[in-house]
Amino acid sequence: MFWVISVFYLAAAVLFILGLKAMSSPVTAAKGIKQAGIGMVLATVVTFLIPKEFTPTGDSAPILFSGEKWLNLVLIVVALAIGGGLAAYMGKVVKMTDMPQMVAVYNGMGGGAAALIAAVEFAGGNIHSGIVAALAVLGSLIGCVAFAGSVLAFMKLQGIMKKAFALPQQNIINAVLALIAVGLGVAIVILVPDEKTFSIAVPLLIIFYVVSLVLGALLTAPIGGADMPVVISLLNAFTGLAVGFEGYVLSNPALIIAGIVVGASGTLLTKEMAKAMNRKIAKVLFKPITGAAQGEAVEGTMKEMSPMDAAAAMRYASSVIIVPGYGMAVAGAQHKVWEMTQMLEDAGVDVKFAIHPVAGRMPGHMNVLLAEAGVPYDMIYDMDEINSEFANTDVALVIGANDVVNPAARTDKSSPIYGMPILNADQARQCIVIKRGQGTGYSGIQNKLFFEENTTLVYGSAQQVVADIITNLKTLV
């Protein structure tokens, strides 16, 4: 039985890693999702075969089919049916623009599940080793922080929590809570393995979980939308680490491997996202961009343009670079943008898409939205690949993007985005911005691009404005 289980877990682990590797490219991402999904099915199926040798009790009968354990079988099947049914339904009905919220929910579910695993093991008296107790406590702390933080992230992304919330002396409060959680964790590790002191550890466990959840909520509450892509990636890494630790507690190789893979990849992605914003992860957590107005005042006026003039400027241009942002996603304009792009290409215009690493609400969000609309992968360029081309481009069309094209990132040292690499849309011969109004971006600062001499704005919903541009393009020869 052991070798069968080991082979299943090895196969699941290989599929997880192959799936993750395939997801690194848009061309193979769909295949990677399927591979990882098959791996998860294998890891779930083998759970029904695990003998009690894998648990502290040491019986040889299969854990789910031994006498009173039939109840476990029923509960797991019901849970799989409910969870799988909800996931399948949500996967079909959730819009691509709402995918960041869905990812935040899944992050939270993973972290919360890891914390609950440890809670069940503690409550059942199944932890008899200091090392196992330490890993269970560490996984619980990280899992609770990931769960509470993901709930707050979901509320922010969904618009339920519209403003960042910070307590006076927020960082000091967080530090005190972290010290309390660590102190309680150390006490639990000392008390739990000893049957004589276990009763003392129970109330400490309850307090530990409450403090950990509060800490996770308070860490995320002050963080504004500008930092949200980094936060989502960081919470994902936290969830992976928590799952890996609890996999050791359960002696479950699949959980250990999956947790390590997710934790490692999430950590690397978080570092890359922070680098793309030129912000240290510590600043994201302890000195977040809250959305409050900051930076130097911008002088000048914004110049308005009609959809007809915008259509003419692009129709008779030699080259156009389109810079999509979350405003395009909210308006659901990506399909219209692709229709407009095809018309421009048919007219002989060279069109490319420029994607900033933190465009949208999560890593890769804009790439997925454009791919969903049918934009070919070879038309979509990362910032490093295309930034040098703006200076030789006739028109840069910015649709719903703000902070990622703000020249203040280069010049205004008082700006919260100073030093952040941006797309050089301001260097194009002409810059056209589609924008609902004259509001600021997530960072809360005014965009200097909108006041540049070569910049004009077309006001309105991105979908309607692009539709009007398409109508006018049809009239131009």
353 three-class SS: strand
Please name the residues in contact with 83: beta carbons below 8 A apart, sequence gap of 6 or more.
none
Instruction: Identify the sign of the CA torsion 96, 97, 102, 103.
Output: positive
List, in sequence order, the alpha helices (H) in 48-129. Answer: 70-93, 99-123
Q: What is the C-alpha separation between 184 and 377, in angstroms, rounded?
A: 51
With contact defined as beta carbons under 8 Å apart, do 204 and 223 qualify?
no
CB 124 within 8 A of CB 55: no
Distance set, CA 473 to CA 343, 344, 345, 397, 428 (Å):
8, 8, 12, 15, 21
Give residues with Cβ within 8 angstroms of 30, minimum separation 6.
none
Token representation of residue 297: 């005042």
Phi first, then psi: what are they for 279, rounded to 5°?
-130, 135
Place of tokens 């002050």: 222
Q: Which of 227, 403, 426, 468 is catalytic?
A: 403
Give the tokens for residue 425: 């849309």
Q: Catalytic annotation on 468? A: no
Torsion, CA 286, CA 287, CA 288, CA 292, rounded to 10: 140
Q: Which residues on neighbouring strands pair with residue 324, listed in sequence order?
A: 399
- Short-list 421, 442, 54, 120, CA closest to 252: 54
Locate the DSSP E strands across 178-282.
none
Pull the structure tokens for residue 355. 């994607």
Q: Which one, of 250, 242, 172, 234, lies nearest residue 209 by Cα?
A: 242
Q: How far is CA 353 from the centre of its chain?
A: 22
SS3 for 70? helix
Q: Which residues are catalytic?
A: 403
